[in-house]
Amino acid sequence: MRVTTIRLLRADIAKLDVDAVVNAANDRLWMGSGVAGALKRAGGEEIEREALAQAPIPIGEAVVTTAGRLPARHVIHAAAMGQDLTTDETKIARATENALRRADELRLRSIAFPALGTGVGGFPLGDCARIMIDAVRRHLERGGTLDEVVFALRSEDALRVFESALGGVVRVVG
């Protein structure tokens, strides 16, 4: 049985050296602000060009592009919201699940997630943490290729919320 580590990092997701970083995307895959904008600024416009060539996608779905100049090899664009830039529990859960599926399809070993829907989407951080961690746990119980799932969080408060949702198992401040 594969053992996968779930880590919490206080980090800029655009700087992480993992196989894939997850973009908190909208269904049209344009990369304007928040996580998407940060990934585009750090990695280059080619990430958005590749994403737009696959758009639109259903809310909850995920597609993969290269990562441009990012340390990661891939960007997985997980559409947790539509054009209205709002989200809900079902959309976040499906986007998380589909990002994990894309990682397994590519046989990736590591993936980093932001807190989907909590920025532009305005979704409550505590609910997001519970939903995403539950989705990751369900996925890992079924097996797969991942050795490490990272949650890249921007604040000490977000770390505490995700730590609580994880049950206080792992905490890394970087």
DSSP 14: G
First to last CA, the chain: 29
Q: What is the pLDDT of residue 168?
A: 58
Q: What is the pLDDT of residue 171?
A: 41
Q: Would you list the DSSP string of 99-138?
A: HHHHHHHTT-SEEEE--TTSSTT---HHHHHHHHHHHHHH
Query: Count of CB atoms within 10 A of residue 4's CB?
Result: 18
Q: What is the CATH code for 5-166? A: 3.40.220.10
Euclidean distance between CA atoms 150 and 121, whole angstroms: 21
For each successive 10 residues of the chain (174 residues), what is the average pLDDT? 85 98 97 95 98 98 98 98 94 98 98 96 96 96 94 95 81 41
Euclidean distance between CA atoms 94 and 74, whole angstroms: 19
pTM as predicted: 0.94
- Cβ(137)–Cβ(101) below 8 Å: no
DSSP 40: H
Q: What is the pLDDT of residue 174?
A: 40
Q: Which residues contact 122 (CB under 8 A, 6 or more apart)?
A: 86
Name the residue ranges covered by the structural domains of the chain: 5-166
Unique residue bearing structure tokens 């809310």: 59
- At residue 170, the 3 state secondary structure works out as coil
Euclidean distance between CA atoms 50 and 63, whole angstroms: 10
